[in-house]
Structure formats: structure tokens, C-alpha cells
Amino acid sequence: MAKVVIDPLTRIEGHLRIEVEVENGLVVEAHVIGTMYRGIEAMLRGRDPRDATYVTERVCGVCAGSHGWASSMALDKAFGANVPAGGRIIRNLIIGAMFLHDHPLHFYHLSALDYLDVMAVAQYQGKDPGLLAVKDKIVKLVVAGDTAPLTPRYKPDAFSVNDPELVTMAVAHYLKALEMQAKAKKMSALFAGKQPHQSSIVVGGVTMLPNIEVVEQFRSMLMEQLDFVEKTYLQDVLTFGTGPLLPLAQAGVGGGALNYMSYGGFARDNENKDLFFKAGLIMDGNLGNILPIDENKITEDVQYSWYKASANGKTPYTEDTVPDLDKQGAYTFVKAPRYDAKPIEVGPLARMLVMQPKGLMDIIAKNSIKPGAVARHAARAYETLLLVKDMFTWCDALEKEMGSKDFRVHDTDHWEAPVSGQGAGMTEVPRGSLGHFIKVADHKIENYQMVVPTTWNFSPRDDKGVRGPVEQALIGVPVPDLDNPVNIVRVVRSYDPCLACAIHLIHPVTNDIKKFQIGW
């Protein structure tokens, strides 16, 4: 048995260390380790509750906006604020644009280099002037002996794409996607002030009172995004996923926990009933039985995390958070959230399996794709297309609202902090299900907790020793060459980890645990 350590695991948000044990070319044991802690929730205690949207926004600058959004929802409830339709739609547009930023960026800039033999570009023999320019650029970098940041890298392996035409196209799209992610942030900033780290979303709604010109500028940029998502991003993912990467897809490498959850998100009405992302839960891979979510079944374990264990039976509203760096047996700053005592995968694959859009399900069935790294990329690209299309109707709805005499973006009557109150903001953000929980006492924050997507996916073992979803997904992953564990980073990155987000905590509530079963 050989131990392989990857630290830092790059091209993700935050600091991640992976330790696996390999036997006969396969991973037999895995630990995922978060190595940085800031303690933002604890710092919020005693502060003006309205600060929480601004401060938690800064938990992560990649899924920028996400935490401010979830925080505002928690505060809305605690303050008793009724967000007017204008505020709700503008919040949705701010975050929707950031999905258009996050997903292609994850595919091209954070993941693609794991699948491409970039140096195959030098062999491109075609005549396309755009691709020849890409070839020229890469060749000149090689000639100059300065190919950073494209090298060093893991060696291309049996799954790597080395067709010069395909690789050159992918590198051209890597560069195009760099431009498109900047434009998506610009779209978001039109309503948000700036991105990353918008300031517009506050308790009660938003601060930006838009005019028609801004909405139309957003809409025209949305058309450019649609064109890119439909004709480039999704096509590339499908070309790779059903082409050179099909064996990886069909083998279901990186399948993980077959339990999936989506809180639902992007309300299209003020009653929070018509959601773009549907809410639901899938247990043990049973796609035919979408279960409702009971937020009381969400708990967290800390036996393997560097935190002091507090008394059992506490809710996210009342628990506390104390680091314990010398704790025996602990190995990560990430906690172990469980739903009904089971590890759960959240994110685009979970959302799409809950939603089951026909187009995607047909692709999966036709190509016999199993849940795993490649399926995650496909689900992420497919939901981007669904989202970008739906966003046009959000622009329509906003303009309709703006035409009414009493158009409003903010609930001014509930701007001041209440004496007391509590609320949960639970929604879907690019990496999965995000929950913020606040308790207000004496006009101040008494307690604040976040349960974030990467905490679900990158959790350590729970108190019963059951691995977290990614730890489980790594078991059985082929590592034929110990010096080149590229399949491990492929699996890990397919979850789009965000460790700065993950290291936030709720405290343990231990329930009876059922035996974890894998089945599909």
C-alpha cells in the first residue's frame, strides 16, 4: 500500500490537502483536509445584524454574491422583511449572472487542464486563422522556454485528449471563456455595484434602483452569454464527455455518495413557490423517489474536525464554534454535515437529478453515463443553459415591475434590527445548497452559522466513521502511476470545491445513524 499526498490541490478556491492510500493501482482509503480557518461567524457575534450580508459576502470571492444572498434571506426572516418583487428579481439577476461566471470558469480554467494535453496544440495542422493564432501563441511560449502557468503539470495519461484539432479549439475557448467570465461579472455588477463582493444585496431587498437602460444593457450582455453557453461551453462539454472522455463517464469514476439534495432556488414569485431550481432529496440513488426536505434533519458531526464538541441536540441557531487545534484524531477544519445521518452530495449534479430535465436525462441514458466526474461537468453545463434561458424571463418580469407606479426594490419599514428574531436563508448557489442561520437578540447578532456546499461535499468522516461524499468518491479511483495521480484531481475538481466557504460550522446534533449503502 502506498500513500499519495496532494497539497496544495490547486485550481480550486481555498486550501485543500488530499491524502489517499493506493493498493493495486486503486484508491482504497481517502482523507480530504481543509487547512485554513478564519472564524468569521464567531466574529459576527454582538454586531449589527445588517453587517452580516456585507461580511459573509466576503467568505468567498469566487461564488461572489452567494453568501450575501443567503445571508439577506436569513435576515429577511429575522427582521420580518417582505422583499418586494423588484428586490427579489434584482437579487436573482445578480446571482444568476454569477452562475454564468462560475460554471464556464470552472470547466475551462479550473478543470480542463486535467483533461488536455495542451502541448498537442503545436501539432495543429488546420487552417482556421483563430486556431492558428492560438498555436502561434503557445509555440512562442514554448520557444521562449516560459510556458507558465500551463506547466508544470501532471503527465497526460490514457484519458487525456491529445487530438491537436480538439485541443487547439479547447485552448482557444479557454481564452474566450476568460473574456466571458469577466463580462458575466460585469453584468452582475450593473445591479450589484461591483463583482466580486457586491454591496447591493441588503436585508429587505437591494440598494440599486435601476433604470430601463441598465436592464437593457444586462439583457444584451445576456444574449452574448447565451450564445457562448449554448454554442461553445455546452458543446465542448458534450464533445469531450461523449467523445474522448466517454470511458471515464461510463465507468462512473468519482461517483461518491448516491444521495443528492437541492434546497431549490431562484424564486419566480413572492410566495417562494415557483422555484427555478426545484427542491428535493434523493436517497440511495433512487431517482424515482424525490423526497421533500426537512431542515430539522440537517446535523453536523465534529469528531474528526478541529473543533470542540459541544452538547448534543443543539440547532444551528444555538450552537457555538470553538477551534481545538490539538484535538486527538481530528484532521480537518471542515465539519461533517449529514442529512438524516447520511452524507449528501450537493451541487449541479444533485440539482439536475432532482429536476431531471429531459434533454440531459436523454444524453445520460443514450450514452450510459454513470454519476461521476464527467456527469458532474455535464450537469453543470446543462443547468447553465437552462438558467441563461430563464434569465430572459426575469428581465421581462423586472421591466414589467418597473412599469408599475409603486415599483419597489426594498422593504424600508424593516431596515432597523428587531429586538429579537431568527431566520434561515436556504438556497442554491453555484456549488450547491447553501444555508445561513441567524439569531438576533437585543438588536445584535447572538449567533450566526453557515452550512455551505463544500462542507457537505468535502466533509470528513462523521462520528460513526462514515466517509464524506468526496472521500467516498475517491475510493476505487484508478491511480496506475503513483507519481501522476491525475485521476484524483479530476474527481476532486469535478465538485468545484470552495474551501474558504467550507470552513464554516454548525455544531453536532447526533442522530441514530443508518448504515450507509451504495446502490444505483
Partner 1 sequence: MGNFDLLTVKGVTRRDFMKLVAATTAALGLPELFIPQAASALEQALKKPPVIWLEGMDCTGCTESAIATLNPSAAALIIDMLSIRYHETIMAGSGQSCEEAYQAALKEDFVLIVEGACPAKEDRYCMVGGKPFRKTLIEAAQKAQVIIAIGSCASEGAGIPGACATGAVGVAEILRNEGINKPVINLPCCPVKPTTLIGTLVYYLTYHKAPPLDSQNRPVAFYGTLLHDNCPRRGHFESGEFLTDWNDPVQKGYCLMLKGCKGPQTYTDCAQVWWNDNANFCINAGSPCAGCSEKSFYKEFSPLYVKQELFKLPGIGQVNADTVGAVIGGAAAIGLGAHLIATAASGRLSNKDHDHDHKEDM
Task: Write down the least CB distance from residue 517 to partner 1, Å.
Answer: 32
Task: Write down the least CB distance from residue 251 to partner 1, Å.
Answer: 22
Task: Write down the least CB distance from residue 408 to partner 1, Å.
Answer: 4
H/E/C letters for each residue in 398-461? HHHHHCCCCCCCECHHHCCCCCEEEEEEEEEECCEEEEEEEEEECCEEEEEEEECHHHHHCCCC
Residue nearer to partner 1 on the CB measure, 113 or 398: 113
For residue 93 the three cell numbers come to 439577476
Residue nearer to partner 1 on the CB measure, 375 or 445: 445
For residues 36 and 42, give the distance between their C-alpha atoms in angstroms, rounded to a whole number: 15
Residue nearer to partner 1 on the CB measure, 86 or 435: 86
Residue nearer to partner 1 on the CB measure, 209 or 291: 209
**Do 454 and 1 form a contact (C-beta atoms < 8 A)?**
no
DSSP state for residue 209 in the 8-state scheme: -
Residue the block writes with cell 522556454: 145
Residue nearer to partner 1 on the CB measure, 109 or 464: 109
For residues 416 and 419, give the distance between their C-alpha atoms in angstroms, rounded to a whole number: 9
For residue 31 the three cell numbers come to 482523507
Residue the block writes with cell 440531459: 360
Residue nearer to partner 1 on the CB measure, 188 or 433: 188
Task: Write down the least CB distance from residue 70 to partner 1, Å.
Answer: 15
Query: What sign results for the dihedral spanned by CA atoms 9, 307, 474, 470?
Result: negative
Residue the block writes with cell 454586531: 47
DSSP 153-188: -PPP-TT-B--HHHHHHHHHHHHHHHHHHHHHHHHH
Residue nearer to partner 1 on the CB measure, 6 or 363: 6
Q: Smallest Cα–Cα separation from 65: which of 25, 20, 100?
A: 100
Residue the block writes with cell 474522448: 244
Phi first, then psi: give them for residue 410, nearest 5 degrees.
-150, 145
392 Cβ contact list (under 8 Å, min separation 6): 219, 222, 226
60 belongs to an annotated ligand binding site: yes
Q: Smallest Cα–Cα separation from 39: which of 325, 363, 312, 298?
A: 325
Task: Write down the least CB distance from residue 242 to partner 1, Å.
Answer: 25
Residue the block writes with cell 479550473: 110
Task: Write down the least CB distance from residue 133 to partner 1, Å.
Answer: 9
Task: Write down the least CB distance from residue 45 to partner 1, Å.
Answer: 10
Task: Write down the least CB distance from residue 190 to partner 1, Å.
Answer: 5
**Do 275 and 510 form a contact (C-beta atoms < 8 A)?**
no
**Do 203 and 50 form a contact (C-beta atoms < 8 A)?**
yes
Q: Is 427 helix (H, G, I), strand (E, B) or coil?
A: strand
For residue 8 the three cell numbers come to 496544495
498 belongs to an annotated ligand binding site: yes
Residue nearer to partner 1 on the CB measure, 50 or 351: 50
Residue nearer to partner 1 on the CB measure, 344 or 445: 445
450 belongs to an annotated ligand binding site: yes
* Cβ neighbours of 229 (radius 10 Å): 23
**Residues 102, 105, 108: CA angle, nearest 5 degrees:** 150
Residue nearer to partner 1 on the CB measure, 40 or 375: 40
For residues 51 and 36, give the distance between their C-alpha atoms in angstroms, rounded to a whole number: 23
395 belongs to an annotated ligand binding site: no
Task: Write down the least CB distance from residue 201 to partner 1, Å.
Answer: 9
For residues 434 and 265, give the distance between their C-alpha atoms in angstroms, rounded to a whole number: 10
* Cβ neighbours of 222 (radius 10 Å): 22
Task: Write down the least CB distance from residue 36 to partner 1, Å.
Answer: 5
For residue 97 the three cell numbers come to 449572472
What residues form the annotated binding site?
A: 41, 60, 63, 450, 498, 501, 504
What residues form the annotated binding site for Fe cation?
A: 63, 501
What residues form the annotated binding site for Mg(2+)?
A: 41, 450, 498, 504
What residues form the annotated binding site for Ni(2+)?
A: 60, 63
